[in-house]
Chains A and B, each alone.
Chain A
């Protein structure tokens, strides 16, 4: 039983589907091509070239940060005490479980393929739905990796700070609400 549990969690910890071309990438390419064509139609291909050139320069500035962030995102799952985390966020883990799940959402880096797989793994390993909701909500709103790599790159820091402050209580409240809904459904 324990072995099976560990297997489920382990599988969930490895990055999810990693095909080079997947539906997400195709959507992204189509959106980019359509947007580029719209810019060309309105302002001419010269302007498309300008925007593309500007973007490449921006990418050059970003690259060190992105490469560092990717390393952290790829390596941290190797250091996580998986079973310990799963045991912290079980059905009877109370507020502490929701807090741990929320903190995990902030700290465990990675994109959606990794985070949702991890949440599914937590569920399979005995975490309750409330903890899973807290984790996904926290990752969505407060993922440190995304804030550092992306949000602060584009948005002013006072905006980011305000957003973080306002979002801080949301994951725990969402997890508690989910638990209350489940209790009501069970009653």
Chain B
């Protein structure tokens, strides 16, 4: 269902963008960029989805509830926050692992901290792209002002008692 909603929404956006691009006389360039982007992304996506599938199999489901369940408290939040940035691969890997953990009995708070920790501080993103493209100072500045965010979001969720 979620997939269908996203597909329909993106179809509308793509139709609008396609019309604007053609109206601006940039149709050919848009097509070339699209093909380049697709050639770059699709192989990575295939490998990443396979990797996410294997990693999800390896998640020790029996230990998830103990480590990240409702009673795991701060320990679960801290562990989840640390695991986020060291998760390799793209968005799909962290989202797939988060979803697997939720199904296996993790509370919403730790999964929130995990997904947020990956989003903000993925080591692959920082080392492969942010440091080389933006430089050290902007990278450290960003980390300095956002490092508590994953813990904070997880703690808010935990304190409010949201989720299973």
A3 at the interface (CB under 8 A from B): no
Cβ of B124 under 8 Å from chain A: yes
The answer to the question of B74 belonging to the interface, with a C-beta cut-off of 8 Å to chain A, is: no
Chain B's closest residue to A79 (CB) is: B20
Instruction: State whether A152 touches B5 (Cβ < 8 A).
Output: yes
Within 8 A of B (CB), among A129-173: 129, 132-133, 136-137, 140-141, 146, 148-157, 159, 162-163, 166-167, 170
In the assembled complex, the Cα of A35 lies from the Cα of B55 at a distance in Å of 6
Partner of A113, one of B52, B129, B144: B129
- By the criterion CB–CB under 8 Å, are B53 and A54 in contact? yes
What residues of A have a CB within 8 angstroms of the CB of B102 in the complex?
A: 155-156, 159
| Total number of A residues with any Cβ neighbor in B under 8 Å | 82
**B63 in contact (CB, < 8 A):** no
Beta-carbon contacts of A29-41 to B below 8 Å, as 1s and 0s? 1011001101100
Asked if A72 and B10 sit within 8 Å, CB to CB, the answer is: yes
Q: Which residues of A have CB within 8 Å of B112? A: 159, 162-163, 166
B40 and A79 form a contact (CB under 8 A): no
Interface residue SS majority, chain A: helix
Whether B36 lies near A157 (C-beta < 8 A) is no
Which chain B residues (82-101) contact chain A, with CB distance < 8 Å? 88-92, 95-96, 98-99
Q: Are B45 and A155 closer than 8 Å at their CB atoms?
A: no
Knowing A132-B138, A154-B95, say if A70 contacts B51 (CB, 8 Å): no
Residue in contact with B146 in the complex, picked from A15, A61, A112, A137, CB distance below 8 Å:
A137
Closest-by-CB residue of A relative to B111 is A159
Say whether A123 faces chain B, with CB atoms less than 8 Å apart: yes
- What separation, in Å, do the CA atoms of A67 and B53 have in the docked complex? 21
Q: Which of B68-126 touch A at CB < 8 Å?
A: 88-92, 95-96, 98-99, 102, 108, 111-112, 115-116, 119-120, 124-125
User: How far does the Cβ of B129 sit from chain A's closest Cβ, in whole Å?
Assistant: 4
Give the docked Cα–Cα distance between A148 and B135 (Å): 30
| Cross-chain contact of A75 among B17, B135, B146 (Cβ < 8 A) | B17
Q: Mark B48-64, 1 if CB is under 8 A from A, else 0.
A: 11111111011000000
CB distance from A80 to the nearest CB of B (A): 11
Point out the residues of chain B lying under 8 angstroms from A55, CB to CB.
49-50, 52-53
Q: Which residues of A contact B92 (CB under 8 A)?
A: 150, 153-154
* Interface pairs A-B: 4 shortest CB-CB: A32-B51, A35-B54, A154-B95, A68-B10
8 A-B contacts (beta carbon < 8 Å): A25-B44, A32-B48, A36-B54, A71-B14, A71-B34, A141-B149, A152-B5, A159-B108
Given A32-B48, A140-B119, A155-B102, 4 new contacts (CB under 8 A): A32-B47, A68-B14, A72-B10, A178-B144
Tell me the A residues contacting B by CB distance below 8 Å. 15-16, 18, 20, 22-25, 27-29, 31-32, 35-36, 38-39, 42-43, 47-48, 51-52, 54-55, 58-59, 61-62, 64-79, 111-113, 116-117, 119-120, 123, 129, 132-133, 136-137, 140-141, 146, 148-157, 159, 162-163, 166-167, 170, 174, 177-178, 181-182
